Amino acid sequence: MTTTLTAKETLFEVTNVKKYYPIKGGLLRTTKGQVKAVDGVSLQIYPKETLGVVGESGCGKSTLGRVILGLEPLTDGQLVFKGQDITHYRASQLKPLRKEMQMIFQDPFASLDPRQRIGPAIEEALIIHTNLSASERKKRVSDLLVEVGLKKEHYYRFPHEFSGGQRQRVGIARALTLNPSFIVCDEAVSALDVSVQAQVINLLKRLQKDYELTYLFISHDLGVVKHISDRVLVMYLGSMCELGSVEEIFSNPLHPYTQALLSSIPRPEIRKDRERIKLQGEIPSPANPPSGCRFHTRCPLAQEICARKVPEYREVKPGHHVACHFA
């Protein structure tokens, strides 16, 4: 679906976004260094698509989601949402835009107040952002509960009365309250058991169709990402490795890291002949990333140039970008 879109229809334009966290230490708590959580990410998010973001822990995928939503101030870069440059917007300027952008969190139990009933928790956003009457608000919440596969009677229940899958449905209902156009799903199904996970993924796909939603779907589970995404971004240590359509990334991965990630997934089928690309060692610290290509310390194909020169992030095929000297 991405190929039919032109650049004009971009929902979100993210240009060279950086997010550094200072490391404080010593007697006067001076800045000793920086954790480069996100280091130069540029991408476009098109309306009604799902952009999957994958990578291992510490690669900056969650930070990227938070930065895009304006939940964390940027260190550098530019964010353009529906043609408005929101990079330097103050909280008051962002407020009307908050209706358009929502987030679904990993652990719905931690993101719900245990002493607040489900109905009022979902209703809160309506009180802040709309001037609906109390009965209209209640109707809207009841409709939402039904929409996400819960029951109207659940309105007066507490979070602890729900199972994990149901709580995630509450999280989804809450994100939908204000009819957003863009939702960041941060590991939204990772905490769920597979049988329930499948239910929630199917729900997210149906809602996307019904409400014309755009998702930024952050996950470490490549199976889930492949299933739900139109395009996929692979990140490693805060930088972009590869971006392309889901078919391209999964059938023709060009970056050695993407290839290794794909071959590391344990497949739920018996095939003893499968060759696995084994990565040596662990992910380096983002406070002190390797020189040149960040992946060179673990890359099976690394050459001398990789340690010296940062590979250019370039388009090798229409819509398929990769940052590797040898791709």
Please report, as ranges, the residues that interact with other proteins according to CB under 8 A.
56-57, 163-166, 193-199, 201-202, 205, 220-224, 226-227, 250, 260-262, 264-270, 276, 278-279, 282-283
Q: What is the largest CA-CA distance in the chain?
A: 68
CB of residue 311 vs other proteins: minimum separation in angstroms? 20
CA distance 216 to 211: 15
Nearer to other proteins, 75 or 199 (CB): 199
Nearer to other proteins, 124 or 221 (CB): 221
Q: Tally helices (H) and strands (E) across the chain.
A: 10, 12
Nearer to other proteins, 115 or 209 (CB): 209
SS (H, E, C) 241-302: EEEEEHHHHHHCCCCHHHHHHHHHCCCCCCCCCCCCCCCCCCCCCCCCCCCCCCCCCCCCCC
Nearer to other proteins, 181 or 258 (CB): 258
CA distance 239 to 19: 11
CB of residue 235 vs other proteins: minimum separation in angstroms? 13
Around 150, how many Cα atoms within 13 Å sit in the side-chain half-sphere? 30
CB of residue 250 vs other proteins: minimum separation in angstroms? 6
Three-state DSSP class for residue 305: helix
CB of residue 262 vs other proteins: minimum separation in angstroms? 7
Q: In one letter, which amino acid is 264?
A: S
Query: Of 241, 219, 290, 216, which is closest to residue 67 (Cα–Cα)?
Result: 216
Nearer to other proteins, 120 or 223 (CB): 223
Give whole-number Cα distances, 202 to 49, 90, 205, 319, in Å.
16, 36, 5, 27
CB of residue 264 vs other proteins: minimum separation in angstroms? 4
Nearer to other proteins, 282 or 304 (CB): 282
CB of residue 281 vs other proteins: minimum separation in angstroms? 9
